[in-house]
Amino acid sequence: MLVGTVGQGLLPTYSSGNETLGHIGFVLLIVLRFVQGLCAAGEIGTISTYLSEVAAHHMLCRGIALIAITCNLGFVSAQFVVYAITRALGDEAVEAWAWRLPFVLALIPGLIAIWGRRGIPESHMFLEQQKEEQSGASAESQEVGFEVRQVSSTRRVKAIVSAHWLNMLIGGGALASTAILQYGGFVWGQSFLAHAGLTADDTMLVGLCSRVVMLVLAMPVGWLADVVGVASVMLIGSLGFM
């Protein structure tokens, strides 16, 4: 994530006067954006699993709500940095060279995040499962070795899918539809406002206000999901988006 983000601020552009460098920068931009998106998806999936393992069952949704809070806090911080740089240096400087600053400044929180993650302990659930797998594998390792663990993991995945395929299908569809609706609200909505004549500063302000609303509502909605259930809250939220 750090390489994909900071690297975008160091790319050569067509404005350098060298068309070859411009082409190289364009290709690298696509590659870095792909890396950035891949890392973001991996991090969200990993932290979701970790929080579900360490959070108490009665406040599981409030624990997961921390993801929404930190993600939107990151978006708000990034928009604030872009707004501050634009106000301080002006549109011409931003278009010429200052557009690189937000990407390069991402190095600071990125390094802090890497340092912090080095001290995060593994969850008790993961450690217990690891012990079980190691003890089960060691009993038969002399005969079949690594294949025991591989077959065991494959059987476990097949058993889970076979027993809960309908729940997984409904959950995946619900998340996909919510993501599409959220994209329409935050991305397409701002593009629509920009094409309708709203200034860039006002468009950014609209996005900033939307993120702040999500920050404020994340924990109360997580509490509500802990009380009445995730399915009901997701249904209400999807209807609200529509």
The pLDDT assigned to 153 comes to 67
Contacts of 12 (CB under 8 A, 6+ apart): 18, 21, 22, 24, 25
**How far apart, in whole angstroms, are the C-alpha atoms of residue 44 and residue 172?**
15
Q: How many CA atoms lie within 13 A of 178 on its CB side?
A: 13
Contacts of 38 (CB under 8 A, 6+ apart): none
- For 36-89, how does the pLDDT look when each residue is reduced to its tens digit (9 = 90+)? 989 888 888 888 888 888 888 888 999 989 988 988 898 888 888 988 898 899
**How far apart, in whole angstroms, are the C-alpha atoms of residue 120 and residue 131?**
19
Low-confidence ranges of the chain (pLDDT < 50): 142-148
Counting every residue written for the chain, the total comes to 242
